[in-house]
Structure 1
């Protein structure tokens, strides 16, 4: 099946150029120029990857990225002419899979698209290493034993599980888990992680799946990883 790339870019000539190169590489493309249209179209069309410009009319690319991450883990590559380090880091914190600065070669963009898509396909399966996760039911099991997680505990485990080996700070985890932007203490995450570890340990005492990284945050390591 042909993969669809959503190009979110208000510069028509640039969007057309990217579209031509992507089509030559075998992709279908959808072009959107206004930021307010992106989230509804993502929900409707469910593209395989989004090329998301940072500066858009109607709505900022970082804000769009953050909302998409509240309901989907589809790959997102952010594109911008703003090279300030704070924007680069913030873009990745909000869930972007990659970041490309203008000016760029269209061939480079196509190569990045292929790399990110390949990486997303290679993510662990929902039942890797004895751990089975069902996002529709917020259900988690270890080798058939129910972990009996709360919704927040499941969201934490599921997000870390989908990004093995990557360290996330408490603030990053709060942004992912509490999509309604409620104000909570960063120690709230510590409490949820502690309870989550306790429940995992009850059925898998010889496994340490969630690791604390001093001064940085937490990461998930698959069994045997």
Structure 2
């Protein structure tokens, strides 16, 4: 992961991410196999913005998965625990 360019090298291809997407992937990957609630992930991204809902995390995760699947159709390293949150399972 390259924090200067907000991108990740996955399967030898660059995956460009927004600042928020990068922060989510970085945080999840830094805590592999640890289930993170949407509220915890909101704290990572929006510590000072009280007007953001937990569903915004779902949108970020959806876009992150789409970007990774663009270079790897089988990407499944971010796992959803329905009703709870997400975890990074490696890859």
With structure 1 as the length reference, what TM-score do the two structures score?
0.39
Q: Tell me which residue corresponds to 2:82.
A: 214
Alignment of 1:157-172 (within 5 A): 157-172=25-40
Alignment of 1:25-174 (within 5 A): 133-174=1-42
Q: Unpaired segments of 5 or more residues in structure 1?
A: 1-132
Q: Tell me which residue corresponds to 2:57.
A: 189
Alignment of 1:9-20 (within 5 A): none
Distance 1:139 1:209 in 2: 16
Distance 2:63 2:75 in 1: 15
Distance 1:135 1:161 in 2: 13
Distance 2:63 2:35 in 1: 19
Do 2:21 and 2:64's aligned partners in 1 also have CA atoms closer than 8 Å? yes
Deviation at 1:140, TM superposition (A): 1.1
Q: Unpaired segments of 5 or more residues in structure 2?
A: none
Deviation at 1:146, TM superposition (A): 1.4
CA deviations 1:5-31 (Å, max 9, x no partner) are xxxxxxxxxxxxxxxxxxxxxxxxxxx
SS across alignment from 2:36: coil
Distance 2:42 2:69 in 1: 23
Structure with higher Rg: it is: 1
CA deviations 1:124-168 (Å, max 9, x no partner) are xxxxxxxxx012332212123111111100100000000000011
Q: Tell me which residue corresponds to 1:178.
A: 46
Higher relative contact order (CA closer than 8 Å, sequence separation 6+): 2
Q: Tell me which residue corresponds to 1:123.
A: none
Distance 1:168 1:160 in 2: 8
The root-mean-square deviation of aligned C-alpha atoms, in Å, is: 1.1
**After TM superposition, what 4+ stretches of structure 1 lie above 3 angstroms from structure 2?**
none
Distance 2:90 2:15 in 1: 17
